[in-house]
Amino acid sequence: MKEEEKCTRLDKQMAFILEADKLKQIERQTYLHDGLRKENDAEHSWHLALMALLLGEYANEKIDTLRVMAMVLIHDMVEIDAGDTYAYDKAAHKTKRERELKAAERIFSILPQDQAKYFRGLWDEFEEGETMEAKFAHSLDNVQPLMLNDASDGLSWRERGIKREQVEQRNQTTKTGSEQLWVYVEKILDENVNKGNLQ
């Protein structure tokens, strides 16, 4: 590779890294454990990567942990353009796929071609949810906000009058990635219904 090509490649990579900084400005609907503020997409993605590193042993099948970590680190990059779609907002979900596809085209194309293809492939794999890695990544993506809701005494659930059946519907793919994490989910749901945090 020529020196000027290396510079161009590095420039593209650094431009993507700078673009990723915008994730820190995308506020999610989930409160931090202490309920003092809501988390942002960068915090959410980092938390999922840590979970992938720690909890891979609970996947239903053997997984490539590094692939799961890479997947969860980039899975919400599209929200830089598309915004965070609240899990229980039915109207926003009607346009979510279209908004996110358009965002994926723009954001991943910032990278050098080989990395753009790899990152877009990871994002598509997560969205399709067919591989064991994608299934486990979805399990983590479901469990993390549920864990924070539990830690903040159901704050966002109570604010919006969320029902247990809505959370179960949202978490229905959890068991396809991890039966053990699904047991954890049901325990949290039982406790929060008993506390009155979920209707």
The tens digit of pLDDT for each residue in 64-88 reads 999 999 999 999 999 999 988 777 7
pLDDT score of 1: 67
Q: Which burial class, exposed, middle or buried, applies to 98 when counting CB atoms under 10 A from its CB (0-12, 13-18, 19+)?
A: exposed
Stretches where the chain sits below pLDDT 50 are none
Please list, in sequence order, all residues whose beta carbon lies within 8 angstroms of the beta carbon of residue 135, skipping any fewer than 6 positions away. Answer: 59, 60, 129, 173, 176, 177
pLDDT score of 88: 74
pLDDT score of 167: 94
Buried b (16+ CB within 10 A) or exposed e, 64-80: ebebbbbbbbbbbbbbb
Antiparallel, parallel or unpaired: β 38-40 and 27-31: antiparallel
Tens of pLDDT, residue by residue over 37-63, are 999 999 999 999 999 999 999 999 999
Q: Map residue 199 onto helix, strand or coil.
A: coil
Q: Give CA–CA dist 83/79, Å, rounded.
A: 4
pLDDT score of 83: 87
Can you give the C-alpha Rg of the chain in angstroms?
18
Encoded tokens for 141: 């993506």
pTM: 0.93
pLDDT score of 89: 72
Q: Give CA–CA dist 87/105, Å, rounded.
A: 23
Alpha helices in 36-131 (DSSP H): 41-55, 65-74, 79-82, 90-108, 113-128
Are 160 and 119 within 8 A, CB to CB?
A: no
